[in-house]
Amino acid sequence: MRVLHNRISNEELKRRLYEETEPRKTVSFYQYFPIADPQAFRDNLFIQFEALKVFGRIYIASEGINAQISVPDSRYEAFVQTLYAAAPELNGIRMNIAVEDDGKSFWVLRMKVRPKIVADGIDDPEFSMERRGKYLKASEVNEMLGKPDTLVIDMRNHYEFEVGHFDGAIEIPSDTFRDQLPMAADMFADQKDRTIVMYCTGGIRCEKASAYMLHKGFNNVYHIEGGIIEYTNKAKEQGLPVLFKGKNFVFDNRLGERITDDVIAECHQCGKPADTHTNCRNQACHLLFIQCDECAEKHHGCCSAACKDIADLPEEEQAVLRKGIDKGQMIFSKSKHHPLRKHRDEWKEEQHPELS
């Protein structure tokens, strides 16, 4: 019986990836459509994608598919045709090509069946994805964002918003998308007739959010087609001003792609302008945080002195210390109130009063 999942170590897979000489494309796509048998759909695609050397993360659910992948350039068209043939609803779907890409975003193919392709917390049986907000193309986005009556709502997490967002965008201050949905509806409950533009990284979250807002009685809801990625590509192709500022956070090995030269975030350790996300080198912590080059050198890529001391130990000793530790959401810490921010603010006030 054929094994339909990876059984090779990450270290070996990474080594093979970096030995590849052919360029790869990093692509994201999604589609909301009914899948009667998600497991069978997943297994069939896995066999075909594995043969094409597709790497990445793909989620399948009864409500559709959500994927971030990379594929060798020479096999890209074969991959597209394979996807189109998998279901009528996938024929001709939009492919979001990465804005900034070194082709090393993924090193293994992981395909999972999940209850939903986006965890939304919605349990209302009356909710439906059939009624969604209207798509906005790049030129329409620029026109709409310039109108004073438009509410621009960012449906991403705090650490994404922090390094880049549209001018005038409103952050929904919650740690998860499932919490953001009711919070967004509550925040603007008295403005249901205003024009609302929602956006996210590649479109999947804001498309569901637009349907949710309509479900909650909002009347004029739009969302950016293809999210930040498609908007940026089309704006640049068409010579339009790019109104998104800074970096677009992405959930792969790159941790971000630069959209404009603006650096709108700051180092979480010293407060200097910075927007490079990194994971703490102490694998027992692995916290995602923003670190400038100076602090990376000073702290050896760690988020604290305690983590630096651990990370500098021999690997055997680190493995003993890691045993039984659950890193949980520390990999992508979403909270504005993480203790590292307190240390950052104290350091900033003491060492760099001019930045306070």
Q: Strand (E) positions, 75-217?
A: 96-97, 109-113, 134-136, 150-154, 164-166, 170-171, 195-199
Q: Tell me phi and psi for residue 62, to 5 degrees.
A: -65, -15
Residue 229, both tokens: 């990625």
pLDDT-based confidence at residue 13 (cuts at 50, 70, 90): low
| 267 classed as catalytic | no
Q: Contact at 8 Å (CB) between 227 and 203?
A: yes
> What residues contact 161, with CB distance under 8 A and at least 6 apart?
154, 169, 171
Residue 283, both tokens: 């694998």
> What residues contact 285, with CB distance under 8 A and at least 6 apart?
302, 303, 307, 310, 327, 330
| Nearest alpha carbon to residue 193 among 170, 215, 221, 154 | 221
CA distance 228 to 244: 8
pLDDT-based confidence at residue 108 (cuts at 50, 70, 90): confident
Residue 97 reports pLDDT greater than 80: yes
Residue 354, pLDDT score: 40
Residue 306, pLDDT score: 86
Residue 4 reports pLDDT greater than 50: yes
- Residue extent(s) of CATH 3.40.250.10 domains in the chain: 134-237
The answer to which of 77-81, 204-208, 317-321 has the lowest mean pLDDT is 317-321
The answer to which of 4-8, 44-48, 85-89, 334-338 has the lowest mean pLDDT is 334-338
Residue 253, pLDDT score: 73
Residue 146, pLDDT score: 80
Looking at this protein, which amino acid is placed at residue 262? D
193-219 average pLDDT score: 94
pLDDT-based confidence at residue 128 (cuts at 50, 70, 90): confident
Looking at this protein, which amino acid is placed at residue 196? I
Q: Contact at 8 Å (CB) between 157 and 250?
A: no
The CATH class of the 10-113 domain is alpha beta
The answer to which of 162-166, 171-175, 238-242 has the lowest mean pLDDT is 171-175
CA distance 208 to 284: 35
CA 117 → CA 70, 95, 105, 114, 180, distances in Å? 19, 17, 20, 7, 16
pLDDT-based confidence at residue 105 (cuts at 50, 70, 90): confident
DSSP code, position 169: P
| Nearest alpha carbon to residue 30 among 204, 259, 160 | 204
Residue 267, pLDDT score: 94
74-100 average pLDDT score: 91
DSSP code, position 72: E
Q: For residue range 322-350, list pLDDT tens digits in order.
A: 776 654 444 444 444 454 444 444 434 44
Q: For residue range 247-290, list pLDDT tens digits in order.
A: 998 877 778 889 999 999 999 999 999 999 999 998 888 888 99
Residue 142 reports pLDDT greater than 60: yes
232-250 average pLDDT score: 94
Residue 321, pLDDT score: 74
110-130 average pLDDT score: 90
Q: Which of 200, 270, 303, 307 is catalytic?
A: 200
| Nearest alpha carbon to residue 300 among 283, 312, 288, 285 | 312
Across the beta sheet with 164-166, the strand order is 164-166, 244-248, 257-258
Residue 202 reports pLDDT greater than 90: no
Q: For residue range 18-62, list pLDDT tens digits in order.
A: 667 788 899 989 999 999 999 999 999 999 999 999 999 999 999
Residue 89, pLDDT score: 94
pLDDT-based confidence at residue 6 (cuts at 50, 70, 90): low
CA distance 189 to 196: 12
- Residue extent(s) of CATH 3.30.70.100 domains in the chain: 10-113
CA distance 101 to 141: 24
The CATH class of the 134-237 domain is alpha beta
Element (H, E) at 24: strand 24-32
Residue 5, pLDDT score: 62
14 by Cβ neighbours in 10 Å (0-12 / 13-18 / 19+) ranks as: middle
Q: Tell me which long-range contacts 243-248 makes (C-beta under 8 A, separation of at least 24).
A: 243/141, 243/142, 243/145, 243/166, 243/167, 244/164, 244/165, 244/166, 245/164, 245/165, 245/166, 245/167, 246/163, 246/164, 246/165, 246/275, 247/163, 247/164, 247/275, 248/99, 248/160, 248/164, 248/201
DSSP code, position 273: B
